[in-house]
Structure 1
C-alpha cells in the first residue's frame, strides 16, 4: 500500500510545470522513458567524445615531438 501511494505521488517537472506520473497518459509516460534514454545516450556519447579528444591531444603531442626531433 505504501508503495502504491509513493507511485501516485511521484512527479516530473517538464518545462517548469510539475505533473504527477500517475496522471500522465501511457503515451506521455513512454515519451518520458524515451527522453530519459536519449539523455543517457547523450551523456554516454559525451564521455566517449571527451576520451577521444584526450587521445587526440596525446597523439598531437607525440607527433609534434617526432617532427621537432627530425
Structure 2
C-alpha cells in the first residue's frame, strides 16, 4: 500500500499540514485553490482575447485606404 504524503500549505512563510487545520480552515484552503484556478482560467481567456484583438486590429489596418502623403 502506498504511503500518503501529508499535504502542506505555506501561508505567510509558515508551513501547515492541511490535516492539522480545522474544518473551516480546510474549507478556506479549498476556496483559495478554486479561486486561484479561476484566476488562471481568466488570465488564459484574457490572453486569447488580447491576441484576437491584435489580429483584428492588424486586419483592420490592412483594409484601410492608404493615406496620401504630400
TM-score bracket relative to the smaller structure: 0.7 to 0.9
Task: Give the alignment's TM-score, normalised by structure 1.
Answer: 0.83
The answer to whether 1:49 aligns with 2:28 is: no
Q: Distance in 2 between matches of 1:61 and 1:28?
A: 49
Structure 1, unaligned runs of 5 or more: none
Shift of 1:10: 2.5
Pick the structure with more helix per residue. Answer: 1
Q: RMSD of aligned C-alpha atoms?
A: 1.9
- Structure with larger RCO (C-alpha < 8 A, sep 6+): 1
Residue 62 of structure 1 is matched in structure 2 by 59
Structure 2, unaligned runs of 5 or more: none
Q: Which has the larger radius of gyration?
A: 2
Q: Following TM superposition, where does structure 1 have runs of at least 4 consecutive aligned residues deviating by more than 3 angstroms? A: none
